[in-house]
Amino acid sequence: MNHTATPEELQTEADQFKTEFQTLRDAIGQVIVGQEGVVEATLTAILCGGNVLLEGVPGLGKTELVKALSRVLKLHFRRIQFTPDLMPADVIGTNMMTADESGNYRFEFREGPIFTQLLLADEINRATPKTQSALLETMQEGTVTTGGQTYHLDQPFFVLATQNPIEQEGTFPLPEAQLDRFMFKVVVPFLNRAELNEVVSRTILRKHVDVEAILDGPRILHLRTVLDRVVVSDPMRDYACRLVLSTHPDSEYSPEGVKQFLRWGASPRAAQALIRAARVRALGQGRPHVAFEDIKHFAAEVLQHRALLNYDGQAENIAVADLIKECVNTLPTEA
């Protein structure tokens, strides 16, 4: 029989999760200057099994963040530098003909760099759509199918991808199916004055910070079972669903900006992602139950890359994140 946790046990798990989550944030904060929101969002997605798209101009520490994560999380880490000439076989691997000791030839599968646990897809939008699509199955199901054979990757598995939003030459937009498989799109902001001074100081003084591994794969998988026990009441679930519906221009819940500038709204995966992220935030606050603020907190990261602007929105250079903010501000918590 499955043991039903008591309120006291749930609170104990929440307190322990809060401590571990803060320890992770502090460890990464020793390496990454500022960017607290980016670190929180990335850790949130990882703990509930989501992939993250990090978008920002060069030099903001996106790659360094992923490297820091690979050190504090005891996971196998690989990096792929995406380029226009990168082929799907360069990512997932290929069948090669080999000869055994008897001289008999046979095909042998040589694993590509996707066979890891933490994959950095650096500048993912520089690869062709054909190569980008090589990640689709793995990001959703954690498997690789090639030559009629399906291979299961070690769990937990995450894709952390980076892209530059301002450089368009030599890049290929990510298809909607790919974007939908990223739980979060996290926009990395530019540093403020104090943070920039600290980065330059560390560079001049050549400060190197060593961080120790804090969580391993089995512990991350255990924490996911804790997340599954976080209470999500019916009003919370319904609010997440209504928030997703509010991004659809033909919905009764959508605000005026969405009706005017969006062509299509977020998918059902977005509602699932809102709940999963809300559970992590609730535990990170030391609560074994989800509140409305937990769902609102990551609305932009979950929804902004899943909504498509129409012609008017593109012509007027409307920021989707602003429309998501309008959805959050106008949607009542009571049904």
Q: Do residues 261 and 224 both lie within one domain?
A: no
Give the residue from 229, 259, 278 where a domain finishes.
229
Q: Do residues 102 and 219 both lie within one domain?
A: yes
Give the residue from 208, 229, 250 where a domain finishes.
229
> Rounded to 5 degrees, what angle do the CA atoms 121, 124, 127 make?
120
CATH of the domain at 292: 1.10.8.80
Q: Do residues 243 and 221 both lie within one domain?
A: no
Assess contact for 51 and 45: CB atoms under 8 A: yes
- pLDDT score at 118: 87
Range(s) of the domain holding residue 273: 231-335
Q: Do residues 144 and 41 both lie within one domain?
A: yes
Domain count for the chain: 2
CATH of the domain at 87: 3.40.50.300
Q: Do residues 48 and 144 both lie within one domain?
A: yes
- pLDDT score at 3: 56
Greatest Cα pair distance in the chain = 73
Q: Which of 42, 50, 48 is nearest to 25 (CA)?
A: 42
Q: Do residues 247 and 308 both lie within one domain?
A: yes
- pLDDT score at 4: 66
Q: Do residues 170 and 294 both lie within one domain?
A: no
- pLDDT score at 1: 37
Give the residue from 186, 205, 229 where a domain finishes.
229
Q: Do residues 141 and 62 both lie within one domain?
A: yes
Q: Do residues 131 and 177 both lie within one domain?
A: yes
Q: Do residues 276 and 219 both lie within one domain?
A: no
Q: pLDDT tens digits, the chain, 335 residues: what are they?
A: 345 667 777 788 888 888 888 888 888 877 777 778 888 888 888 888 889 998 887 766 777 788 888 888 888 888 888 888 888 888 888 877 777 777 777 777 788 888 888 888 888 888 888 888 888 888 888 888 877 788 888 888 888 888 887 666 667 888 788 888 888 998 888 878 887 887 787 777 766 667 777 878 888 888 888 888 888 899 999 999 999 999 999 989 989 998 999 998 888 999 999 999 999 999 888 888 899 999 999 999 999 998 889 999 889 888 899 999 999 999 888 86
C-alpha distances (whole Å) from 58 to each of 130, 164, 165, 197, 255 are 25, 7, 10, 17, 35
- pLDDT score at 246: 93
pTM metric for this prediction = 0.84
Q: Do residues 27 and 122 both lie within one domain?
A: yes
Q: Do residues 219 and 154 both lie within one domain?
A: yes
Q: Residue-wise over 105-114: b if at least 16 C-beta within 10 A, else e?
A: eeeeeeebeb
- pLDDT score at 145: 81
Cβ atoms within 10 Å of 4's Cβ, excluding its own: 8
